[in-house]
Amino acid sequence: MANIKDVAERAGVSVATVSRVLNGNSPVAETRERVLAAVKELGYRPNNVARALRTARTGTLGLVISDLTNPFFTELADAVEDAARGLGYSLVIGNAGERPAQQDDYIRTLLDRRIDGLLVSSAGTGSAMLGEVVASGTPLVLLDRTVPGIDAPCVRADGRAALTDLAAHLAALGRRRPAIIVAPAGTPTGDERLERFRTALADHGIALPDERVGATPDLQPSGGRRVMRDFLDLPEPPDAVLATDNLMALGAMDELRARGLRVPDDVALVVYDDVPWFAHTDPPLTAIAQPTRDLGRAAVQTLLARIEGRPAPDVLLPAHLVPRRSCGEPPTP
Amino acid sequence: MANIKDVAERAGVSVATVSRVLNGNSPVAETRERVLAAVKELGYRPNNVARALRTARTGTLGLVISDLTNPFFTELADAVEDAARGLGYSLVIGNAGERPAQQDDYIRTLLDRRIDGLLVSSAGTGSAMLGEVVASGTPLVLLDRTVPGIDAPCVRADGRAALTDLAAHLAALGRRRPAIIVAPAGTPTGDERLERFRTALADHGIALPDERVGATPDLQPSGGRRVMRDFLDLPEPPDAVLATDNLMALGAMDELRARGLRVPDDVALVVYDDVPWFAHTDPPLTAIAQPTRDLGRAAVQTLLARIEGRPAPDVLLPAHLVPRRSCGEPPTP
DNA sequence: GCGTGACGCGTAATCGATTACACGACGCAC
DNA sequence: GTGCGTCGTGTAATCGATTACGCGTCACGC
C-alpha cells in the first residue's frame, strides 16, 4: 500500500506538505491540487498505526461486555457501537462471558493496544485490573454495573420507578405472594432490585419473605428454572414472579410449562430487560424495559467527556414498566 | 506509562537488550534478571501500536457482521472471537446492520487500521469495498454468505442434508402442503435453501408451488409475519412452513397466534438457525441447526492460513435437523 | 601466541505518520 | 534600498518498538 512518501514524491513535494494538505492544520495553497491528485491516483490512505503512535490517539474505544450472547448486552453493545461510530470512533468489543479472568485478560489487551477510552460492564463483583485501568490514566466508564471502590463514572438504568409501578400493578391485579429471582447476593445490581421491589411491595401491604427470594449462581436459563422449581415446591407457592434477568426468565417459563401451569392464570411472570423476543412469547411478557440505546449513547458521551478532560458525573436513566399479558391484565393496544 | 527506554535505563542496558529479553529472539544471559526486575518494578507493558508499526503485524483481526442483533450472528461473532482469542489475536467487530453502505464504511476503517485479516458475512448482494480488500492484499475470508466475483475462501454451513432430512420428516408426518419463507431472490443463501428444499420435497412426491414461496425484503419478524399472513389467506393454506431465518420465524408465529391457529396441530413450523431461545418456546421449535461454533473456528483457521500464505479452500460444514414438537412428532428425549 | 568463532550486547536505522523550527520569497512601509 | 512580517514549504526530530550490523570478550585449537 502506498505511503505518504510515495504521495510526496509523486506530487513533487515533501511529506510534511502532504500531511498538512490532508489534515488541514496549516494553510497550503499552490501544491494542494497536485497533492490531492497524487492521493487519488495512488489510492493513498493514511496508516492509522503510524498516526496513532505519533499522536497518541488511536481513535478506538474498548468495550468489555459481561456476556455478549445475553440479548440485553447484545443490544447494549450495538447501541454503544452506533454511538461510537457516530462520533468517529471505532469500537473493539471484548466478551468476558461472565468470567472475571477473561475480563481481566481483555482489559489488559485493550490497554496494550492503547485505546483512547474503555467501557466496562463488569462480570463478577470486583476486578484487580479495573484498578490498574484507573492507575494507568486510561479514561474509564462503568456500564450497567457499578464496581465498589473504582473511581469512575457509572452509566446505568434506574429501576426504582419501574419497580414501584410493578408493585402497584401486581397489587391492583390481586397478586399477594410475589417472588423474585435474583443474581447472587453481593452483586450491587441484584441487591438493589431486590431491596427496592421489597420496599415498593410493602407500600401495598404485601410481604416478600426470604423463602420467595431465590438466588441463582449464574445468569442462565438453568438457574432460573432451578429457582422456579424451588418456589413451586413451597407450601405456599408464589402467584407472581419477577426474574431480574431475561435469561433466567426463560428457564422459569420452562419449569412452569413442564408442570402444566399457565401464565398468567396460575402464576404471573415479569422479566427485567425487555428484549425483542418477549413481545413474541406466549403470552407476551410484562417487562421492565431499560433504555438500552440511551444507555449506550450516554456511556459513550460520558467516556468522551472523560477523554476530553471534562467533568463526567454518573448517569441514571429511568427504566419503565411495559405491561403485557403475563400478569393477567389485557394489554392496552 | 513506562516505555522500553525507561526499562533500559533502570536495568542499565540498551533498549535492544530489553526487547530481546522480552521477545526471546536471541539469547540474553547475564542481564536478563535485571531486565525482568525492571519490567516488573515499572509495570512495563510493550506499546502495541509501536510494535505494530515496526513489525507490520497488529495482532488484530476484523469481523464485519451483517446484523449483530440477530442471535445467529451474535453466536457466530462470539465463536469467532473465542477462536481468535485462543490464537492470540484480538477481534474488532463491526456491525453492518444489514446496510451495505455501513459495511463498506467499516471495511474501510478496518483496512486503515491495518488489521492482519478480515472476516466478512456480507450484507446485501455485492460490495465494491470487498474488491478493494482483495486488491489491498489483506487476507479475506467470507463467512456464512458467499459474494459472487470475490476471490476469497468462504466458510459456511451446508444445509442440503438437513433439508433432505426435513423433507422426509414432513412427508412422514403427513404434511402435504409445505411453504417456505425466504430472503429476497438473488441472495445466494436464500436461493440455495429454496432450491434444495423443493428438490428434496419432490423426492417424496410433494410439490412446492410458487404461491407457497414467500420472500421478505428484510430478515425481520415483520417480514415473516407478512408472508405468513399471505400464506394463510390462500385458498389452500400450507400445513407446514419453513422460515429460513430465525427472526422471520418469530413474526410467523405471531401471525399464527393472532389467528388462533395452533402449532403443530394446524400448521407445522420449522426454523433455520437453532438459537437457544427456540428450545424455550411453546412448543419448542423444530430447527435446522448450523454448526455455529465450528463455523467460527473454521473461519478463523482459514483466515490464519491465508495470513500465513497457506492454501485455504472453501469450508462447508453440515447443518442438521433438530426435531422438536413444532412438527407434531414428540421429541425423542 | 594468535587466529577464529560464538556469544552478548550496544548503536543506529527503520516503520509511517505529525509537527516544531527554519528558511526563502514576496510585499509593503520607511 | 533596507528591514520586517507573512506565507508556503522543506528539514529533521519524534512517537516506541524491532532488528541488522558491528564490536568487544572469551574459549578453544593449532
CA A223 to C1' C22 (Å) is 71
Give nucleotides in strand D with any atom < 7 A to a protein C-beta.
7-12, 14-20
The answer to whether A311 and A284 have CB atoms below 8 angstroms apart is no
Helix (H, G, I), strand (E, B) or coil at B109: helix
- In whole angstroms, give the CA distance from residue B59 to residue B114: 10
Mean pLDDT confidence for A124-138:
85
Confidence band of A28 (pLDDT split at 50, 70, 90): low
Cβ–Cβ below 8 Å for B49 and A93: no
| Residue (of A11, A50, A52, A53) closest to A28 by Cα position | A11
Distance between CA atoms of B332 and A223, rounded to whole angstroms? 24
pLDDT at residue A71, as a whole number? 92
CATH number for the region B4-46 comes to: 1.10.260.40
Q: Is B113 on the interface with A (CB under 8 A)?
A: yes
User: Please, is A224 exposed, middle or buried when counting C-beta atoms within 10 Å of its C-beta (0-12, 13-18, 19+)?
Assistant: buried
When scoring B55, B95, B115, B257 by the number of chain A Cβ atoms within 10 A, the one with the most, hence best to mutate, is B95
| A150 has a pLDDT exceeding 60 | yes
DSSP state of B30: T
- In terms of C-beta density within 10 A (0-12 exposed, 13-18 middle, 19 or more buried), how is residue B137 classed? exposed
Strand C bases with any atom < 7 A from protein Cβ: 7-12, 14-20
Report the CATH superfamily, name and number, of domain B60-157+292-318. Answer: Response regulator (3.40.50.2300)
What is the percentage of chain B residues whose pLDDT exceeds 70?
96
Closest approach of chain A CAs to the CA of B81, in angstroms?
A: 8
According to the model, what pLDDT value does residue B320 have? 95
pLDDT, average across residues B110-134: 89
pLDDT of residue A328: 85
* Cα A210 to Cα A218: distance, rounded to the nearest angstrom: 19
Lowest mean pLDDT among A168-172, B122-126, B169-173: B122-126
Q: Look-up: residue for cell 485455504?
A: B312
Contact A282 B257 (CB under 8 A): yes
What's residue A332's pLDDT? 58
Look at residues B221, B287, B299 and name the one whose alpha carbon lies nearest to residue B256: B221
CA dihedral sign of residues B62, B67, B73, B78: positive
End-to-end CA distance of chain A: give it in Å, rounded.
58
Among the partner-chain residues B93, B221, B276, the one whose CB lies closest to the CB of A280 is B221
Task: Report which of residues 99-158 in chain B place their beta carbon less than 7 angstroms from any atom of strand C.
Answer: none
**Whole-number percent of chain A with pLDDT over 70:** 96
Q: Do A112 and B77 touch (CB under 8 A)?
A: no
Judged against a pLDDT cut of 90, whether residue A187 lies above it is answered with no
Taking a C-beta distance cutoff of 8 angstroms, is the pair B320, B289 a contact? Answer: yes
| Nearest-CB residue to B49 (from A52, A69, A257) | A52
pLDDT of residue A26: 64
Which of A309, A266, A40, A315 has its CA nearest to residue A155?
Answer: A315
Which nucleotide is at minimal CA–C1' distance from B17?
Answer: C9
State percent of chain A over pLDDT 90.
70
Of A136, A137, A257, the CB nearest to B282: A257
Chain A residues in contact with B276 by the CB 8 A cut-off are: 69, 221
Instruction: Say if A54 is an interface residue toward chain B (CB within 8 Å).
Output: no
Residue B218: its pLDDT value, please?
81
| A285: pLDDT strictly greater than 60 | yes
Distance from B282 to chain A by nearest Cα, in Å? 7
pLDDT above 80 for A29: no
Choice among B17-31, B142-156, B285-299 with the minimum mean pLDDT:
B17-31
CA atoms within 13 A on the CB side of A31: 21
On the question of pLDDT at A265 being above 70, the answer is: yes
Predicted pLDDT at B190: 83
Helix, strand, coil fractions of chain B, as percent rounded to 5: 45, 15, 40
Which top CATH class is B160-289? alpha beta
Residue B72's pLDDT is 94
Answer whether B53 touches A (CB < 8 Å).
Answer: yes
The average confidence (pLDDT) of chain A is 91
The predicted model gives A94-120 an average pLDDT of 92
Residue A235 burial (10 A CB sphere; 0-12, 13-18, 19+): exposed
Enumerate the domain spans of chain B.
4-46, 60-157+292-318, 160-289
SS (H, E, C) A213-276: EEECCCCCHHHHHHHHHHHHCCCCCCCEEEECCHHHHHHHHHHHHHCCCCCCCCCEEEEECCCH
Residues A234, A238: Cα–Cα separation, whole Å:
8
Per CATH, A4-46 and A160-289 having the same topology is answered no
Tell me if chain B has a CB within 8 Å of the CB of A88.
Answer: no
- Comparing CA positions, the residue from A294, A295, A300 lying closest to residue A91 is A300
Query: Hey, what's the torsion of the CAs at A120, A60, B93, B71, to 10 degrees?
Result: 40
Q: Which residue of B has its CA nearest to A102?
A: B85
Radius of gyration (C-alpha) of chain A in whole angstroms: 25
B325: nearest Cα among B281, B283, B262, B295: B283
What's the CA dihedral at B153, B159, B161, B167 to 10 degrees?
Answer: -160
Instruction: Identify the pLDDT of residue B133.
Output: 93
- Cβ neighbors of A224 (< 8 A, separation 6 or more) are A181, A216, A243, A245, A247, A248, A249, A250, A251, A252, A255
Q: How far apart are CA B152 and CA B294, in angstroms?
A: 19
With bands split at pLDDT 50, 70 and 90, how would you rate the model's confidence at B32? confident
Q: Indicate if the pLDDT at residue A266 is higher than 60.
A: yes
Note the pLDDT of residue A292.
Answer: 96
How far is the alpha carbon of B64 from chain A, nearest alpha carbon, in Å?
12
A69 contacts chain B (CB < 8 A):
yes
- pLDDT higher than 60, residue A331: no
Residue B44's pLDDT is 94
The arithmetic mean of pLDDT across residues A118-127, rounded, is 82
Higher pLDDT, A126 or A317: A317
The least confident of A128-142, B42-56, B146-160, B274-288 is B274-288
State the residue for C-alpha cell 461510530. A85
Greater pLDDT, A271 or B27: A271
What is the per-residue pLDDT for B98? 83
Question: pTM of this prediction?
Answer: 0.91
For residue A190, what pLDDT is reported? 83
Mean pLDDT, to the nearest integer, of B38-60?
A: 94
CB A77 within 8 A of CB A292: no
A62 in reach of chain B (CB within 8 A)? no
Q: SS3 string of chain A? A: CCCHHHHHHHHCCCHHHHHHHHHCCCCCCCCHHHHHHHHHHHCCCCCHHHHHHHHCCCCEEEEEECCCCCHHHHHHHHHHHHHHHHCCCEEEEEECCCCHHHHHHHHHHHHHCCCCEEEECCCCCCCHHHHHHHHHCCCEEEECCCCCCCCCCEEEEECHHHHHHHHHHHHHCCCCCEEEEECCCCCHHHHHHHHHHHHHHHCCCCCCCHHHEEECCCCCHHHHHHHHHHHHCCCCCCCEEEECCHHHHHHHHHHHHHCCCCCCCCCEEEEECCCHHHHCCCCCCEEEECCHHHHHHHHHHHHHHHHCCCCCCCEEEECEEECCHHHCCCCCC
In chain B, residues 47 through 76 whose Cβ sits under 7 angstroms from any atom of nucleic acid strand C = 50, 53-54, 56
Mean of per-residue pLDDT scores for chain B: 91
For the cut 80, the answer to whether the pLDDT of residue B25 exceeds it is no
The predicted structure's pLDDT at residue A290: 96
